[in-house]
Amino acid sequence: MRILQNTIKYFLAVVWLLVTGYPFVFIFQSSMKGMMEYFTTSVWALPQKFHFANYLQIIQAGFLKYFLNSVIVSLVAVFLVVLTSSMAAYAISRIRFRFSKAIYGLFLAGMMIPMHVTLIPVYTMTRRLGLYDSLSGLVGPYVAFSLPISIFILVGFIQDIPLELEEAAVMDGANRYQIYGLVVLPVIKPALSTVMIYNMVMLWNEFVYALVLLSSPSKWVLTLGLWNFRGEYGIDIPLVMAGLVLSVLPLIIAYVFLHEQIIKGMTAGSVKG
């Protein structure tokens, strides 16, 4: 019976690996085809000849610049989100002040606002502040859009921290800032990992705000750069697939090296007691 159970588990694991892994294999094999080969052969067929020229063309078209812009915007935005959301969550969870519940309710309400509703106000505000067509002008909307879900996640974790830990720190002479930095942050590391991972993936793939707030090709992020690889009457699909492989590869590499931290962060808090 145990052998049968293990066989079923391994079989299901292999099936799940094929289901989740084949899309990347499909994108990679499509990126290695030529334009005519892609349209004259089956989309499922392996490349007759590996066309590395697609990757060279992507790099020569400014991919590295788009990649660097995405790295800068995503890292700065994620850092600000983690910093501000952790401070806001701590204040809402532990500091009793007037309208604290109302403020928390406003943050929760922000989770229900569709991104597209905010495009015109954000565009107008960015133009008036002189931040249009700049990477710094993109960071602000990214942070604002990511705060509600981040605060919601962190508030739940902070409320589960025993008050005795903070009371012991107070007895040792710690103030609010020291409690936040030396007691709360180390305890909620799994939650911070969850917030970082979630927002990094979301911001790395964000397109709408970048399309509205950026116009100069030198300021484009990856999603805009990939969107630009299209012609007036068609699109070079193998070229776009090569760009997708290069843009997804950093996330895959990060998961390979950080999968233990990612799993701990995503499962922390699921078991209590």
Whether 41 maps to a domain, the answer reads no
**pTM of the predicted model over 0.95:** no
Residue 248 lies in a domain: yes
User: Domain tally for the chain?
Assistant: 1
Token pair 């701590």 is at which residue?
90
> What CATH code is carried by the domain that includes residue 228?
1.10.3720.10
- The pLDDT tens digits along the chain (273 residues) read 788 888 998 999 999 988 988 888 899 999 898 888 888 888 888 888 888 888 998 888 888 999 999 999 999 999 999 999 999 999 998 888 888 888 899 888 888 888 888 899 999 999 999 999 999 999 999 999 999 999 998 998 898 888 888 888 888 888 888 999 888 999 888 889 889 988 998 999 899 999 999 999 889 999 988 887 765 446 778 888 888 898 888 888 877 777 676 666 556 544 444
230, part of any domain: yes
Contacts of 65 (CB under 8 A, 6+ apart): 218, 220, 225
Range of the domain at 197: 62-267
**Contact by Cβ (8 Å): 63, 248:** no
Sorted by sequence, the CB contacts under 8 Å of residue 139 that are 6+ apart come out as 73, 76, 77, 80
